[in-house]
Structure 1
Amino acid sequence: MAKYDIYGIGNALVDLLFEVDEQFLADNNIEKGLMTLVEEDRQKELISKIDVKEEMMKGGGSAANSIVAASQFGAACYYSCKVANDQFGHFYLKDLKENGVDTKLTEETTPTGHTGRCLVMTTPDAERTMNTFLGITSDFSVNEIDEDAIKDSKYIYSEGYLVPSPSGREAMIKGKEIAEANGVKVAMSFSDPSMVKFFKNEMIEVVGSGVDLLFCNEEEAMLYTDTETVWEAREELKKIAKKFAITLGKNGAMIFDGETFVDIEPYEVEAIDTNGAGDMFAGAFLFAINHGHSYAEAGKIASLASSKVVSQFGARLEWTQAKDILNHLV
């Protein structure tokens, strides 16, 4: 029996969460609604214009958010990432431990450098804009892969944000190869439309002959498949994913369970911050299918979890919130 339900591969970023107005984005020439990679000096420039408080600092990274979510719901999880031996790195490792996620990193084994940080700016319409300084996570490579932990897992899960990095892409491919050779199922997320739009060939390289489970939103699905509607896209996705989930924002989600499509109804809430909605959906869904739930049931759990996370600031729930969701639906 596998020790871990999910083995995650992804960036390690400390999220710095701010509320801003439209004028702030315009004044600072920030493209709204996208994740943009920036140099450290640029990020420091933006941060200097905002009053930073300690409570704004949260553990982050797309796949990490999913893995933490899965762990909070009750999955056994492992995360491979790269942080530096600095204040943010120590915070990050402590955060993983507190959320019940195993990793091979310790404060003693972390290298010198700067831990990655993501400036998450949320506007009054609940849309989030991210400026990310990757720091040492830009050097994430096969050296961070734990082959034994992958072999002892049911699923390996990776994020599309690693695709632009040659070493990160190599790590994703290596992890996928180890998983496939040992009967471990492969799941991944496209993560962001910009990853598909600007790094499509690299994404195709990572997808390779296909994956067992894919997570994406409708824009990513259409960009990857060169289609104009989500209905066309979902047919094309069958060629590269045995099963998949397409999130549709306020319209819920569309699940393909390998045989049929299942429409997942949304839970109506007042959205405050959409940051992490897709990550939460993937994490809750992965927990559910690893704990005896059907794809339809997993979709409902994931949809409710996502509705909860967008109704508050930050990409994660508290442990008690996760338990309340399960008690409500299961």
Structure 2
Amino acid sequence: MSTNESRAYDVYGIGNALVDFEYRVSEEFLRDNDIARGHTTLVDAAQMADIRERLDGRDTRRTSGGSAANTAYAVAAFGGRAFYACRVASDEDGGFFLRELADAGVGSKQGERPEGVTGRCVSMVTPDAERSMFTFLGISEELCPEDLDHQALARSRYLHIEGYLCSSPTARAAVAEAREAARAEGVRVSLVISDPAMVHFFREGLEEMLGNGVDQLFCNEEEALTWTKTDRLDIAASEMKDIAPYVNITLGARGSLVISPRETAEVPGAPAQAVDTTGAGDMYGGACLYALTAGASPTEAARFAGAAAAKTVSVFGARLPSPTDYRELLAPLTGRQGRSA
């Protein structure tokens, strides 16, 4: 078993590799195009081409994305050490995705990239800052055990699993292998449910990935209520304890509910002028995991994560504009800020 002294990475993420295209749209656009507001819709190549054609002419920005990728990016941006397991194609988008990972200081498995199409996501943001997404998984849907780097995983503190992977049989197989390896090496396992649609349409896949439970679970209020089939948050919180000893349920502007073996605590949200909620949950997870590996308590980590998420929703896009933004957020957090390997 690896020792803490030999841990090369704080977080080893596994998830989809997507190139994001972000647009500002009206409520009318969502209605006219029958787009599920505030949710993620999985689409095929033809549907992706169609929605991009409908959005043609609008200002857009291209960034590397994917839920767990954004979380890994946040860990690295705060000074932690992150690795990301994913699958990209040999196309230009795949090269772009890997370059952005490397530029952010996030490790990844290098090797020959298969032919195909790298996954894409269109994020449509309405004036109230809500994001609605169309996702074409492309070659990400073929993520499999071969895409794992077992050496990097064995030397990590956390394995962080993206809930969106539940729609792919080969990705679920990769998650199962990663979980088994993590347990064997004393690596803690974290999972984010990712989206209410995953609970609605792929519950069995999520249950398979959760297995006999994880160490840390992230979800939002709607996901928690949907998972537990109740409209009462207190009941949902109680039942979530059966999945993980540590659970963070985000509550939007109200903050988050932090469940641990010692207590259940409400952590108030940080003030924010919301512009775009894209990536807020990903940032919350990354900031929380970073803080936990820096020695923060669950409540301290949630408070730090809430401040980071609030900062994220105040800008357009899933990441903060500059390294200075991340450094400013670190000021209240005690710990190993930026400790070298």
- Specify the TM-score bucket, using the shorter chain as the normaliser: over 0.9
- Give the match for residue 276 of structure 1: 279
CA distance in 1, matches of 2:261, 2:80: 23
**Correspondence 1:124 to 2:98:** no
Distance of 2:46 and 2:238 partners within structure 1: 44
Find 1:50's aligned residue among 40, 52, 55.
55
Distance across 2 between alignment mates of 1:224 and 1:32: 19
1:19-71 superposed Cα distances (whole Å, 9 cap, x missing partner): 01112122222222110011112111221233468960011000000010011
Match of residue 234, structure 1, among 228, 234, 237: 237
User: d(CA) in 2 for partners of 1:55 and 1:24?
Assistant: 16
Q: What is the aligned partner in structure 2 of residue 326 from structure 1?
A: 330
What is the aligned length? Answer: 328
User: Structure 1 residue 297: deviation in Å?
Assistant: 1.3
The residue number in structure 2 matching 1:3 is 8
Change (3 A) 1:97 1:54: farther
Q: 1:83 aligns with which of 60, 82, 88?
A: 88
1:93, 1:105 within 8 Å by CA — same for their partners in 2?
Answer: no
Give the match for residue 147 of structure 1.
150
Letter in 2 for 1:26: R
**Matched residue SS, 2:160:** strand
Letter in 2 for 1:269: A
What RMSD over aligned residues (CA atoms) do the two structures have, in Å?
Answer: 1.4
| Matching of residues 93-104 of structure 1 within 5 Å | 93-104=98-109
Contact persistence 1:189–1:216 (CA under 8 A)? yes
User: Residue in 1 aligned with 2:338?
Assistant: none
The structural deviation recorded for 1:304 is: 0.5
Tell me, in whole angstroms, the C-alpha distance in 2 between the residues paired with 1:277 and 1:178. Answer: 29
Alignment partner of 1:293 is 2:301 = no
Paired position in structure 1 for 2:198: 195
Compute the TM-score of the two structures, normalised by the length of structure 2: 0.93
Partner of 2:182: 179
1:186-216 deviation digits (Å, cap 9, x = unpaired): 0010000111122112211211111100001
In structure 1, distance between residues paired with 2:292 and 2:46: 43
Gaps of 5+ in 2: 335-341
Q: Which amino acid aligns with 2:139?
A: I
Contact kept? 1:113, 1:135, Cα under 8 Å: yes
1:163 to 161, 166, 176: 166
Q: How much does 1:137 deviate?
A: 0.4
Counterpart contact for 2:118–2:140, Cα < 8 Å: yes
Partner of 1:264: 267
Match of 2:339 in 1: none
Listed one character per residue, the Cα deviations across residues 216-249 of structure 1 (whole Å, up to 9, x for unaligned) are 1111112222232110011111111011100001
Identity %: 43
CA distance in structure 2 between the partners assigned to 1:227 and 1:55 by the alignment: 38
SS of residue matched to 2:109: coil
Query: Are the equivalent residues in 1 in contact too, given 2:48–2:134 (CA < 8 A)?
Result: yes
Instruction: Please give the secondary structure, in 2, of the residue aligned with 1:48.
Output: helix
- Amino acid in structure 1 at the alignment position of 2:18: L
Contact 2:196-2:223 within 8 A present in 1 as well: yes
Q: TM-score scaled to structure 1, two decimals?
A: 0.96
1:63 equivalent to 2:68? Answer yes
Distance of 1:211 and 1:242 partners within structure 2:
8
Q: Give the aligned partner of residue 207 of structure 1.
A: 210
Work out the CA distance in 1 between the residues paired with 2:330 and 2:46. 43
- 1:152-198 CA deviation, whole Å, 9 max, x = no partner? 11110011000011111111111111101111100010000111122
Give distance in 2, aligned partners of 1:19 and 1:137.
Answer: 26
Looking at structure 1, the residues matched to 230 and 52 of structure 2 have their Cα atoms a distance apart, in angstroms, of 39
**Match for 1:41: what amino acid?**
A
Partners of 2:173 and 2:241 in 1: how far apart? 25
